């Protein structure tokens, strides 16, 4: 019987300590600030990245060095595994999955790539689910089928406030950003299987309240009658998270199923500060 490992990256928001406790192998992505390269979660924290954003330093991100991934794959093989289920950052946002596949091939491991079409808490949720299914004795094909099923209905809706940052990062054109500011338009961005894991515009509204209502209505229509986990993620946007959580509870969602977390450093590098996201995924 094969021994299966789970590998993901720091886009999941998993810390090295948490990954170790859960038995998940974690690849730190790279964060670039002022020409210096840092390993996410090792050399630099999420709060460090938030501070850089506050200082208008516009951090950039990069895939890990190939050799560091190959070294981790050798560790996985030395631990007795022959198969790896990889749940890295969406292939639409990063090429980390390619390095994982090549490194696995180099050291003689079978790598099964599961595209989460997302990041942050959905990526973490899927990674933890994969490990849970392994611990339950499920086989590779059943695990992958289950992961793909829950990923298919998952969604990430992003409500940014820093349009200038999105403009600098190329997520919005200068003209679109200027028009949005001029007419007080608030874009809602989405990231899911239908967008192939790339950030796309979901809707454009005029007020924060309407943006939240639109996001929650989408959640409600997707998971009507189903059990789901709801993740509110943010980058120094605590007041917005409180309003969002209150609206979700008023809509009938159980407080115990609503989780609040920071946006992972490598994602906040692109969204900027005061960004709010709502992620939802079906429970298995």
Per-residue model confidence as pLDDT tens for the chain (284 residues): 689 999 999 999 999 999 999 999 999 999 999 999 999 999 999 999 999 999 988 898 899 999 999 999 999 999 999 999 999 999 998 999 999 999 999 999 999 999 999 999 999 999 999 999 999 999 999 999 999 999 999 999 999 887 777 677 665 667 666 767 776 788 898 999 999 998 888 888 988 899 999 999 998 888 887 899 999 999 999 999 999 999 999 999 999 999 999 999 988 988 899 999 999 999 98
**In the prediction, which pLDDT does 169 show?**
65
Q: Is 26 exposed, middle or buried (0-12, 13-18, 19+ CB in 10 A)?
A: buried
State which H helix or E strand residue 147 sits in. helix 140-153
4-9: strand order across its sheet: 25-27, 4-9, 83-86, 110-113
Domain limits, CATH 3.40.50.10170, in the chain? 4-152
Task: For residues 15 and 83, give the distance between their C-alpha atoms in angstroms, rounded to a whole number.
Answer: 23
CATH architecture of the domain covering 4-152: 3-Layer(aba) Sandwich (3.40)
Radius of gyration of the chain (CA): 19
Q: Which of 102, 85, 240, 99 is nearest to 151 (CA)?
A: 85
Task: For residues 161 and 241, give the distance between their C-alpha atoms in angstroms, rounded to a whole number.
Answer: 13
Q: Is 86 exposed, middle or buried (0-12, 13-18, 19+ CB in 10 A)?
A: buried
Q: Does domain 155-282 have CATH number 3.40.50.2300?
A: no
Q: Which of 32, 87, 34 is nearest to 63 (CA)?
A: 32
Neighbours of 248 (CB within 10 A): 23
3-state secondary structure 238-249: HHHHHHHHHHHH
Neighbours of 72 (CB within 10 A): 21
Domain limits, CATH 3.30.1180.10, in the chain? 155-282
Q: Whole-model pTM?
A: 0.94
């Amino acid at each position: 019987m094969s021994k299966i490992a789970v590998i993901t990256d720091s886009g999941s928001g998993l810390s090295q300590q948490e990954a170790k406790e859960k038995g998940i192998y974690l690849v730190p992505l790279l964060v670039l600030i002022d020409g210096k390269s840092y390993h996410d979660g090792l050399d630099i924290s999420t709060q460090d990245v938030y501070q850089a954003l506050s200082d208008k330093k516009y951090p950039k991100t990069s895939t890990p060095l190939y050799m560091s991934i190959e070294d981790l794959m050798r560790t996985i093989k030395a631990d007795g595994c022959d198969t790896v289920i990889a749940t890295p950052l969406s292939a639409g946002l990063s090429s980390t999955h390619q390095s994982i596949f090549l490194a696995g091939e180099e050291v003689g491991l079978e790598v099964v790539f599961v595209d989460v079409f997302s990041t942050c808490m959905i990526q973490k949720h899927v990674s933890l689910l994969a490990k849970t299914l392994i611990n339950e004795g499920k086989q590779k094909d059943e695990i992958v089928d289950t992961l793909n099923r829950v990923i298919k209905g998952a969604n990430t809706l992003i409500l940014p406030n820093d349009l200038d940052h999105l403009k600098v990062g190329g997520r919005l054109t200068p003209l679109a950003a200027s028009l949005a500011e001029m007419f007080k338009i608030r874009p809602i961005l989405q990231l899911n299987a239908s967008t192939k894991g790339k950030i796309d515009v979901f809707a454009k509204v005029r007020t924060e309240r309407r943006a939240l209502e639109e996001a929650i209505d989408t959640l409600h229509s997707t998971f009507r009658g189903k059990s789901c986990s709801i993740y509110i993620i943010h980058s120094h946007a605590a007041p917005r998270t409180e309003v969002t959580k209150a609206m979700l509870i008023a809509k009938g969602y159980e407080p115990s199923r609503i989780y609040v977390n920071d946006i992972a450093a490598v994602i906040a590098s692109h969204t900027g500060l005061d960004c709010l996201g709502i992620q939802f995924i079906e429970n298995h």
